[in-house]
Structure 1
Amino acid sequence: MSPAPALRLVVCGTDTDVGKTVVSAWLVQGLGALYWKPVQSGLEGGGDRGRVQALLDLPDERLLPEAYRFQAPVSPHWAAEQEGVTIEPHRLEMPAVAGPLVVETAGGLLVPLRRDWLQIDQLQRWGLPVVLVARSGLGTLNHTLLSLEALAQRQIPVLGLILNGPAHADNPRTLQELGRVPLLGHLPPLEPLTASGLDQEWQRQNILHRLRN
Structure 2
Amino acid sequence: MDTFPNTKQVVGSKACGSVCLLNIYTYFNIPKSLEQILIELNIGQVDTSYLPQLARNCNDQKLDTIILSSNPHTISPTWKDKTREEIIAMLKKWISHNSNDGWLKAAIFLLFYLQEGGNIKIVDLSTSIIDTYLNKGYIILSCLEESWLWEKRKIDNKVEYDDTKGHTRGHFVVIYGKENDNYLISDPYPTGLPNKEGLYQVGKQKLLVSTLLWNQEFLAIRTSKKK
TM-score normalised to structure 1 length: 0.33
Ranked by relative contact order (alpha carbons within 8 Å, sequence separation 6 or more), the top structure is 2
Q: Comparing both structures, which one devotes a greater share of its residues to helix?
A: 1
TM-score norm. by structure 2 comes to: 0.32
